[in-house]
Structure 1
């Protein structure tokens, strides 16, 4: 019967290359942490795994050009979960680059969470914490990231507003009814400019379910300056977007 050390080594061997992992991904009990630490130290000495930061490791992928490190999203993955549940997500310019809203990549990545403050400085990667507007889950983090992009629209580095609105409409238009309703509910926790922009997009897409919740949450005397061409978002003026 395999020993605890052998079981842990087998679990590590079964993990994919080019992703990061922590003790939680090894599916071990508290009593097995000490044994796991010895196994991890032995595998590091053999060069089979590399240490990223305290308690976070990765299996380097071997290529014809040498060892390949995981990309930033894989490096950050263990930090985004707690007790097996997602509690945080990547946002800011790193996310907006992935969405096609900017060509810039930040030196410091932003990580949003409702109840955790996540700061990382491993040498390989730097990240800072911001507070999310609602609790983060596996089901909602992508919607929250998209609402963040609407919130930060005018501050996104080298953003093309017309291109951004087109991306927003395409993405929102691709959501199913349940996802749209969820997005509206999350947007109610965001600043009024997000609610107005989402409301105008949904109106343009002729998706009216739940839109009154957005409209009723906004002061009718408030205006939002985006300098949009009228033909790009035809409902903009109805939502006091200028």
Structure 2
């Protein structure tokens, strides 16, 4: 089979909006330059789209034109190593929208990872990184995302801290006791402001994770206060957790 026929046959079998690179074809076709040239010809003909240098995807059409791939596809090489070991997770602006904290959609993608790196652009998207001190795995990612929301609560666009706390109270209350205990354990590797707000929120919903909540409280310096503008009627326990 000719190189061009092999490439087109393999691409035809890929799902719409799947992001791939020329490397995906080199295990069977050991002709790097030929692969790149043919992929670029397919871009010119409109059969595939180019996301950024060396990255392509099959376009999915809508009434508004070709759709961009979902964010996971855009940054999946930054989230998993070979063998599908988790090294990062999508957080920040994308999660604010997904979890219902804001309706604003951003062209920035933030990634939580243990080893941060400089921000860069990938096509129209700005990719940046925040440090995550906890080990990352598929099970704890939703909890880490919630902790990141708490950590950056004053930076969520197009909303207020009060509205964000209302939403957090709902999401935390929906967690099982085991998940509430786990999120507290994960919080110990976050800053004291995040620990304080998590404690205040869990105390407000009367979490049954009493011993861990007490440990979280004891981890705070009693002479330090945290400037987080929350209404007392929304989080009545805030002052008890040194939040002013």
Short-chain TM bin: 0.7 to 0.9
What is the TM-score when the length of structure 2 is the normalising length? 0.80
Instruction: State yes or no: 1:149 paired with 2:154.
Output: no
Structure 1: 5+ residue stretches without partners: none
Equivalent in the alignment of 1:211? 213
2:136 and 2:48 map into 1 onto residues whose CA distance is 30
Moved more, 47-56 or 160-169: 47-56
CA distance in 2, matches of 1:56, 1:139: 29
The offset of 1:44, in angstroms, is 4.5
Q: Note the aligned Cα RMSD (angstroms).
A: 3.0
- Report the number of matched residues: 238
Map 1:92-111; keep pairs closer than 5 Å.
92-111=92-111
Once the two structures are superposed, the pairs formed by residues 48-87 of structure 1 within 5 Å of their partners are: 48-83=47-82, 84-87=84-87
**Which aligned pairs between 1:29-44 and structure 2 lie closer than 5 A?**
31-32=27-28, 34=30, 38-39=34-35, 41-44=37-40
TM-score w.r.t. structure 1 length?
Answer: 0.81
Contact 1:22 1:78 in 2 (8 A): no
Partner of 2:20: 21
Q: Tell me, which stretches of 5 or more residues in structure 2 are unaligned?
A: none
Deviation for aligned residue 1:73: 4.3
Aligned-partner Cα distance in 2 for 1:79–1:43: 23
Following superposition, the deviation at residue 240 of structure 1 comes to 1.9
Number of the residue aligned with 1:190: 190
Deviations 1:1-23 (A, max 9, x none): x8999777655433220232347
Q: Structure 1 residues 5, 177: closer, same or farther in 2, change over 3 A?
A: farther
